[in-house]
Homo-oligomer: A and B are copies of this chain.
Amino acid sequence: MNVQKKFPSSVDVARRAGVSQSAVSRAFAEKASISSKTRAKVFAAAAELGYRPSAIPRIMLTHRSHLVAIATGGMYNPFQSRILELFTRGLNAMGYQLILVHVEAGDSLEAAMPQLASYRVDAVLVARGVLDEQSAAAVASYRIPIVAFHTPVSNPFVSSVCVDSISAGRQMAAHFAARGARRCAFVGGPFRTTTDRLAGFRAVLAERGLAEPIAVPSAFTYEGGRGAAQRLLAATPAPDAVFCANDLVAIGFIDVARQLGLRVPEDVMVAGFDDIPEANWSSHSITSFSESGVSMVEASLDILKQIGEATAQLPVQVVLPVRLIERNSTRRNLPPL
């Protein structure tokens, strides 16, 4: 494989081309005063040696690495992997390289920070929806700009981008109520994005005079949805409309409901969140909230663009609207009974 420990340097190229080292540097610079003749000599020598300019010294000189870290996890969720792909493409297009670190829970971002700081990353993007106030403070102490994704953090050093969870909860409650739901349930984890959703959900149900929803905690996974369904559907009376924390949970819920002989949406309506591709599979066709991913990534990239600009007004807290997408899992015109 011919792994060599040392790559040719601009000095090597300069010697071979019979010019100074600065001439080599200028030959590879975008806008630099250099004669085309000298440049040609340099390029020829560079090609012979297989020279590739190193970005490392520039980091030392400019204090900018053009490296952005992204901390994420739970990539079993297609929403997360789609977000990651969008960030990768967007950042590459902006001239950044992306360092990916796996974060299992909120506090392990702190464990990764020393490494990220040592590479002098220009910013850290926290794509996992888990960053509480305390770890946000610890992470902010590194004085590296942080952008929290899908997590409403209120810390003076952390920007955040998220969707309007309360509105989402309200929209879903209205949707269920309009389709004749009587006994609603909410399946979700203990994190703030879902508690906000539950708050909005609960508020509108109360406004419509419907019963207080049963709230069941659940992991944000297919299996979590199955477990919640087993518990909820064994109850008497069972709920007839269930708002799940995400689409994977909704799919698990539906699969168990069907195995129990229930029809969706006739016997029980089920809705999710994130609008992952699987939500649109004809086998499930799940009502969800749409395309928040693309606009959230765009908003995050806008924030990153500002970092390093002198005029930057940071941190920023961005809250984006959500839009309900109705599919078969809640599509019924007549309330049962």
For window 36-83 of A, CB contacts with B under 8 Å fall at 50, 52-57, 59-60, 63-65, 67, 70, 73, 75-76, 78, 80-82
Write the A92-114 contact mask toward B (1 if CB under 8 angstroms, else 0). 10000111111000000000101
**Looking at the complex, which one of B81, B252, B283, B315 makes contact with A78 (CB distance below 8 Å)?**
B81
- Structural contact, B89 and A143, CB atoms closer than 8 A: no
**Looking at the complex, which one of B97, B120, B283, B307 makes contact with A283 (CB distance below 8 Å)?**
B283
Complex-state Cα separation, A164 to B2, whole angstroms: 28
- Structural contact, B97 and A99, CB atoms closer than 8 A: yes
Q: Which residues of B contact A89 (CB under 8 A)?
A: 102
Q: Which residues of B contact A65 (CB under 8 A)?
A: 56
Complex-state Cα separation, A50 to B117, whole angstroms: 11
Would you call A31 an interface residue if the criterion is a C-beta within 8 Å of the partner chain's C-beta atoms? no
- Structural contact, A118 and B53, CB atoms closer than 8 A: yes
Would you call A337 an interface residue if the criterion is a C-beta within 8 Å of the partner chain's C-beta atoms? no
- Structural contact, A52 and B118, CB atoms closer than 8 A: yes
Complex-state Cα separation, A80 to B116, whole angstroms: 25
Interface window among A4-12, A170-178, A204-212, A236-244: A4-12
Could you write out 30 A-B pairs with CB less than 8 Å apart? A1-B145, A1-B157, A1-B159, A1-B307, A3-B143, A6-B63, A53-B118, A54-B60, A54-B118, A54-B120, A55-B115, A55-B118, A55-B119, A55-B120, A56-B65, A56-B119, A70-B100, A76-B82, A76-B277, A78-B81, A80-B81, A88-B102, A97-B101, A97-B115, A98-B101, A99-B99, A251-B283, A255-B281, A255-B282, A283-B283
A-to-B contact residues, CB < 8 Å: 1-7, 50, 52-57, 59-60, 63-65, 67, 70, 73, 75-76, 78, 80-82, 84-85, 88-89, 92, 97-102, 112, 114-120, 141-143, 145, 156-157, 159, 222, 251-252, 254-256, 258-259, 277-278, 281-284, 307-308, 312, 314-315
When A and B form their complex, which 6 residue pairs have the shortest distance between CB atoms, in order from nearest?
A81-B81, A1-B314, A55-B118, A52-B117, A88-B102, A75-B85
Beyond the given A3-B145, A255-B281, A259-B282, please list 17 additional residue pairs across the A-B interface where CB-CB is below 8 A. Answer: A1-B315, A3-B307, A4-B143, A5-B64, A50-B141, A52-B142, A75-B84, A75-B85, A76-B277, A84-B84, A85-B102, A92-B112, A97-B99, A98-B101, A251-B283, A252-B281, A254-B283
